[in-house]
């Protein structure tokens, strides 16, 4: 999800891990060309679902578990424990489950830490996924969609007809560039330059004659460049797109002209957006639940049994006892209550857990304090017409900008319908904090003023309403995701959180290598569930 320093750092880390990974050695032995067997290439870490039968040999019955937080990790913990008959109670301080998996529809109300209250006025069928919004094919989240009967559809993460808009490199309002044009030019010049270097002998130490022939053949096709006799020159081509697309007789089409020179192309920095679509967690095809991401927590909540989920209940103290745990909490009516259970899974944001009085020990507290929250912010802009389809011929996908909007998302569903919600900005870090500190009206004003530069007048005139939020300032969550020490849940300081503290266990995307993804929350929950069950069977 991250396109920040964080993401870059995590990628570098993972690459380093891969070099020394144990399983890598096995796969390295599997022959030339980097081929692992098809059935093994998308493996999820092993997990054996629990079953009531697990207790038959022990004579024990399932224990009680209190779960702090009804986000994805908490819900999956209760769901998986429920399969073996554990008696789970989820305490969730918000008025809904899902945590950051939060879909805003007409009527959704939320008040931030500054006291800004918004009630979304989106029309029927329109929504904003304020938190997670996309699922990669290999992610375990899809398995839960299948198991729970949540239908999915394509999330339009990449679109050749979406725009790139970099004002810092000289693009002018009303003149964004389409992805397909930017890509044709970058790949065209990369091909021309590499073909020239290859042809001039500069790479003879690196490449055999066969290599050079194969490479040139690839470059000529891929980059739409001329052949040797043309000096491998890139002069544009149909991949850039057309000002008038080919039609009937007399209408051969007009390819977009005015090919920029090589200096302009690399100075424009359009290429910096291209690696996104190859990343292991972002490459298309990506998916989303039909009707909003919160179909997942809704289905989990139904499967767990709504009676086991106590909404509006904020924990105020966690006490570990030799034979169980006691959680003090305030219920939805403001009454102080306690709940005893055999075990506890703390599936809260770690920096908020650190603020909860507890007797889990200094090492746990030090670990929790080592994790810091990160910021991200979105605005949903509902429009009265889908002018981006009719006027811009953009059906979904993401427009990348160097404005502080960062990303602008076109909706992935409802094509050709009357209305639609554009994500007017999705940004991080200081930028997200800046927007978070504005009033909702100020956020809308800025989002529209900047978006208008890209898309023109209808970005303002067709607007129906908006809903915006910055996760850092949302009560009971206060962060979009988390920064781990060394970007790894296996950092030594976090050790106390990756194993049970007596009868208390921890779960969340923040305890995984896929922070900010439900995949990470789910696998962390599975790990906690397995550890809890192992301990329960042993004691």
Region 81-140 residues binding a copy of itself, contact defined as CB under 8 A: 137-139
Distance CA 461, CA 456 (A): 10
Angle CA 56–61–66, to nearest 5: 140
393 binds a copy of itself (CB under 8 A): yes
Range 418-437, binding a copy of itself (CB under 8 A): none
Q: Restricting to residues 271-310, which ones interact with a copy of itself according to CB under 8 A?
A: 271-272, 274-275, 278-280, 283-285, 287
Phi, psi values for residue 152, rounded to 5° = -125, 160
C-alpha to C-alpha distance for 6 and 76, rounded to whole angstroms? 26
- Our finding on whether 492 is near a copy of itself (CB under 8 A) is no
- Cβ closest to a copy of itself, residue 382 vs residue 509: 509
Contact range with a copy of itself by CB under 8 A, out of 112-120, 326-334, 443-451, 509-517: 509-517
Q: Which of 78, 171, 438, 450 binds a copy of itself (CB under 8 A)?
A: 171
Closest-CA residue to 509 (of 473, 471, 469): 471
User: Could you tell me which of 28, 5, 8, 9 has the C-alpha nearest to residue 18?
Assistant: 28
Note whether 260 and 268 are within 8 A (CB): yes
Shortest Cβ distance from residue 107 to a copy of itself (Å)?
A: 26
- Give the DSSP H or E segment for 241: none
- Chain residues 352-391 in contact with a copy of itself, contact rule CB under 8 A: 390-391
Query: What does 180-191 look like in DSSP terms, one character per residue?
Result: HHHHHHHHHHHH
The residue (of 95 and 261) whose beta carbon lies closer to a copy of itself is 261
31 vs 307 by CB, closer to a copy of itself: 31
For position 459 contacting a copy of itself by CB under 8 A, the verdict is no
Give the tokens for residue 444. 């809308």
Secondary element (H or E) of residue 523? helix 518-538
Could you write out the three-class secondary structure of 415-435?
CCCCCEEEEEEEEEHHHHHHH
Q: Which is nearer to a copy of itself, 76 or 474 (CB)?
A: 76
Shortest gap between Cβ of 156 and a copy of itself (angstroms)?
6
**Which CB atom, from 254 or from 372, has the smaller least distance to a copy of itself?**
254
Task: Give the CA-trace dihedral at 460, 466, 468, 474, to 10 degrees.
Answer: 160
Q: Which is nearer to a copy of itself, 57 or 258 (CB)?
A: 258
Contact call for residue 254 and a copy of itself (CB under 8 A): yes
- Joined together, the tokens standing for residue 377 give 């912010």
Check residue 461 for interaction with a copy of itself (CB under 8 A).
no
The answer to whether 319 contacts a copy of itself (rule: CB under 8 A) is: no
Cα(26)–Cα(36) distance, integer angstroms: 10
User: Cα(500)–Cα(361) distance, rounded to whole angstroms?
Assistant: 12
Pair 399, 456: CB distance under 8 Å = no
Minimum distance, C-beta of residue 167 to a copy of itself, in the bound complex (Å): 12
Nearest to 285 by CA among 293, 294, 277, 275: 277
Residue window 511-530: x/- pattern of binding to a copy of itself, with contact defined by CB under 8 A:
xxxx----xx--xx-xx---
State the greatest distance between any 2 C-alpha atoms of the chain, in Å, as a whole number.
86
- The answer to whether residue 233 forms part of the interface with a copy of itself (CB under 8 A) is no
CB of 471 to a copy of itself, least distance (A): 22
Size of the site for a copy of itself (CB under 8 A): 157
Q: Does 184 bind a copy of itself (CB under 8 A)?
A: yes
Q: Which of 236/312 has CB closer to a copy of itself?
A: 236
- Nearer to a copy of itself by Cβ, of 45 and 115: the residue is 45
Verify binding: residue 31, a copy of itself, rule CB under 8 A. yes
Q: Give the one residue of 244, 306, 332, 449 binding a copy of itself; rule: CB under 8 A.
A: 244
* Selected binder of a copy of itself within 214, 306, 332, 449 (CB under 8 A): 214
482 is a site residue for a copy of itself (CB under 8 A)? no
Q: Which stretch binds a copy of itself (CB under 8 A): 87-95, 144-152, 361-369, 373-381?
A: 144-152
Residue ranges in 5-24 that form contacts with a copy of itself under rule CB under 8 A: 11, 14-15, 17-19, 21-24
Among 207, 303, 319, 537, binds a copy of itself (CB under 8 A): 207
Interaction with a copy of itself in 35-64: which residues (CB under 8 A)?
35-45
The two three-digit tokens of residue 201, written as one number: 């002998």
Residue 300 CB neighbours (<10 A):
24
> In angstroms, what CA-CA distances link 370 with 248, 359, 364, 367, 488?
65, 18, 10, 5, 12
């Amino acid at each position: 999800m991250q396109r920040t320093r964080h993401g870059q750092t995590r990628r570098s880390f993972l690459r380093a891990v891969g070099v020394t990974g144990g399983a890598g050695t096995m796969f390295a032995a599997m022959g030339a060309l980097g081929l692992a067997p098809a059935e093994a290439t998308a493996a999820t870490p092993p997990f054996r679902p629990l079953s009531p039968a697990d207790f038959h040999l022990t004579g024990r019955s399932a224990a009680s578990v209190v779960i702090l937080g009804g986000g994805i990790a908490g819900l999956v913990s209760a769901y998986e424990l429920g399969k073996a008959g554990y008696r789970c109670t989820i305490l969730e301080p918000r008025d809904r489950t899902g945590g950051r998996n939060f879909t805003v529809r007409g009527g959704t109300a939320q008040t931030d830490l500054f006291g800004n209250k918004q009630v979304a006025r989106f029309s029927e069928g329109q929504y904003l996924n304020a938190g997670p919004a996309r699922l990669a094919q290999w992610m375990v989240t899809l398995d839960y969609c299948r198991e729970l009967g949540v239908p999915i559809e394509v999330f339009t993460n990449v679109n050749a007809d979406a725009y790139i808009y970099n004002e810092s490199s000289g693009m002018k309002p009303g003149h964004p560039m389409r992805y397909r044009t930017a890509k044709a030019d970058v790949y065209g010049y990369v091909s021309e330059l590499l073909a020239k270097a290859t042809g001039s002998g500069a790479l003879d130490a690196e490449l055999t004659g066969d290599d050079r022939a194969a490479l040139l053949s690839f470059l000529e096709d891929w980059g739409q460049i001329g052949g040797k006799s043309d000096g491998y020159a890139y002069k544009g081509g149909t991949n850039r797109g057309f000002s008038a697309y080919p039609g009937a007789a007399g209408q051969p089409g007009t390819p977009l002209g005015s090919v920029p020179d090589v200096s302009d192309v690399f100075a424009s920095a359009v290429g910096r957006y291209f690696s996104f679509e190859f990343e292991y967690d972002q490459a298309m095809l990506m998916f989303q639940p039909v009707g909003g991401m919160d179909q997942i927590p809704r289905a989990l909540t139904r499967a767990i049994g709504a009676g086991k989920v106590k909404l509006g209940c904020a924990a105020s103290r966690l006490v570990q006892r030799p034979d169980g745990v006691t959680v003090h909490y305030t219920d939805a009516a403001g009454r102080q209550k306690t709940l005893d259970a055999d075990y506890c899974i703390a599936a809260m944001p770690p920096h908020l857990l650190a603020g909860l009085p507890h007797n889990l020990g200094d090492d746990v507290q030090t670990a929790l304090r080592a994790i810091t929250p990160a910021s991200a912010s979105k605005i949903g802009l509902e429009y009265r017409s889908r002018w981006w389809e009719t006027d811009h011929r953009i059906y979904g996908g993401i427009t990348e900008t160097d404005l502080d909007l960062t990303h602008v998302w076109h909706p992935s569903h409802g094509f050709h319908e009357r209305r639609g919600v554009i994500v007017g900005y999705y940004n991080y870090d200081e930028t997200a904090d800046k927007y978070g500190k504005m009033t909702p009206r100020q956020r809308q004003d800025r989002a529209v003023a900047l978006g208008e530069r890209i898309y023109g007048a209808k970005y303002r005139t067709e607007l129906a309403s908006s809903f915006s939020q910055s996760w850092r300032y949302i009560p009971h969550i206060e962060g979009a995701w988390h920064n781990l020490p060394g970007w790894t849940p296996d950092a030594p300081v976090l050790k106390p959180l990756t194993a049970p503290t007596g009868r208390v266990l921890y779960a969340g995307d923040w305890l995984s290598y896929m922070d900010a993804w439900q995949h990470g929350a789910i696998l962390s929950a599975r790990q906690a569930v397995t550890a809890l069950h192992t301990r329960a069977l042993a004691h």
